[in-house]
């Protein structure tokens, strides 16, 4: 049986949120509805949906544009549809510049919203997807994603904790892409990072000691100033 596409609906208006959730849910879509950015981040940390319906005007410090940029940094595959004020071309442009794939203006017809969702889901499904990763070269080491093991160049097991493996797996799935400390922590530990939280930095330090030829001059997991870290695969 084919799995229902998953949609995360982010809308602070309770009436509109419940109405859209019910309508889309009645058309073979799995919908999870939340009311703000904090709830959206928590839900994404559990599982990345196929599509996010994101209202521009949200309460709190993070509006839809900020959240769209965070989503796009977190995944290049997730579909993003911005819900904007009617006739506001600035919102539409800013939404697309923030990484959104499409937009729909309020007040919208439910059928139009459904059509845009299904269109974007079809486009996403038609994109070529890489074969399922099983082993990934990391410098002179190999990460076995199936067995959850790290091996050195001689094939010997290198001991890694569950948390270290989860971080390595995230890097393996996002090569040559800067990943923020906040997202790494939320994705692997399911909690937000406070300004003085160095948990990710400490884990990266321990990982570097295990996989880098020279931990003081990392070439496999590099620091990206102002953002976080990036995995650089070895040349073919």
Q: Are β-strands 102-105 and 79-84 bridged in parallel, bridged antiparallel, or unpaired?
A: parallel
Q: Report d(CA 201, CA 27) in Å as an integer.
A: 44
Question: Domains (ranges, CATH) in the chain?
Answer: 6-126 (3.40.50.2300), 135-231 (1.10.10.10)
**pLDDT at residue 121 above 80?**
yes
What mean pLDDT is reported for the chain? 85
Determine the pLDDT at residue 11: 95
Identify the burial level of 234 via C-beta atoms within 10 angstroms of its C-beta, where 0-12 means exposed, 13-18 middle and 19 or more buried.
exposed
**pLDDT at residue 181 above 80?**
yes
Determine the pLDDT at residue 178: 86
Determine the pLDDT at residue 223: 94
Q: Report d(CA 96, CA 91) in Å as an integer.
A: 9
Band the pLDDT of 195: cuts 50, 70, 90. low
Determine the pLDDT at residue 235: 78
Q: How is residue 25 written in tokens?
A: 């849910």
Determine the pLDDT at residue 3: 65
Phi, psi of 23, deg, nearest 5: -65, -50
Band the pLDDT of 5: cuts 50, 70, 90. confident
**pLDDT at residue 128 above 60?**
no
Average pLDDT estimate for 140-146: 92
Q: Report d(CA 116, CA 52) in Å as an integer.
A: 12
**pLDDT at residue 187 above 90?**
no
Average pLDDT estimate for 109-128: 82
Average pLDDT estimate for 73-90: 77
* DSSP output for the chain: -PPPPEEEEE-S-HHHHHHHHHHHHTTT-EEEEESSHHHHHHHHHH---SEEEEESS-SSS--HHHHHHHHHHH-SSSEEEEEE-TT-HHHHHHHHHTT-SEEEESS--HHHHHHHHHHHHHHHHHS--PPPP-EEEETTEEEETTTTEEE-TTS-EE---HHHHHHHHHHHHSTT--EEHHHHHHHHHSSPPPTT--HHHHHHHHHHHHH-SSTTS-SSEEEETTTEEEE-PPP-
């Amino acid at each position: 049986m084919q799995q229902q596409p998953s949609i995360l609906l982010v809308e602070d208006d309770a009436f509109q949120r419940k109405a859209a959730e019910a309508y889309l849910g009645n058309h073979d879509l799995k919908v999870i509805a939340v009311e703000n950015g904090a709830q959206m981040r928590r839900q994404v940390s559990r599982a990345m949906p196929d599509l996010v319906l994101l209202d521009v005007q949200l309460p709190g410090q993070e509006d839809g544009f900020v959240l769209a940029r965070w989503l796009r940094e977190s995944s290049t595959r997730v579909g993003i549809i911005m819900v904007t004020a009617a006739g506001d071309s600035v919102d539409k442009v800013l939404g697309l510049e923030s990484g959104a794939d499409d937009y729909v203006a309020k007040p919208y017809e439910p059928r139009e919203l459904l059509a845009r969702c299904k269109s974007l889901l079809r486009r996403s499904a038609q994109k070529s997807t890489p074969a399922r990763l099983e082993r990934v070269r990391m410098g002179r080491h190999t990460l076995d994603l199936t067995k959850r093991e790290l091996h050195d160049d001689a094939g010997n097991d290198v001991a890694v904790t569950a948390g270290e493996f989860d971080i390595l797996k995230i890097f393996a799935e996002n090569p040559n892409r800067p990943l923020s400390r906040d997202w790494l922590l939320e994705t692997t530990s399911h909690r937000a990072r406070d300004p003085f939280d160095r948990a990710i930095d400490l884990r990266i330090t321990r990982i570097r000691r295990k996989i880098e030829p020279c931990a003081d001059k990392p070439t496999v997991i590099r620091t990206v100033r102002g953002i976080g870290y990036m995995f650089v695969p070895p040349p073919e």
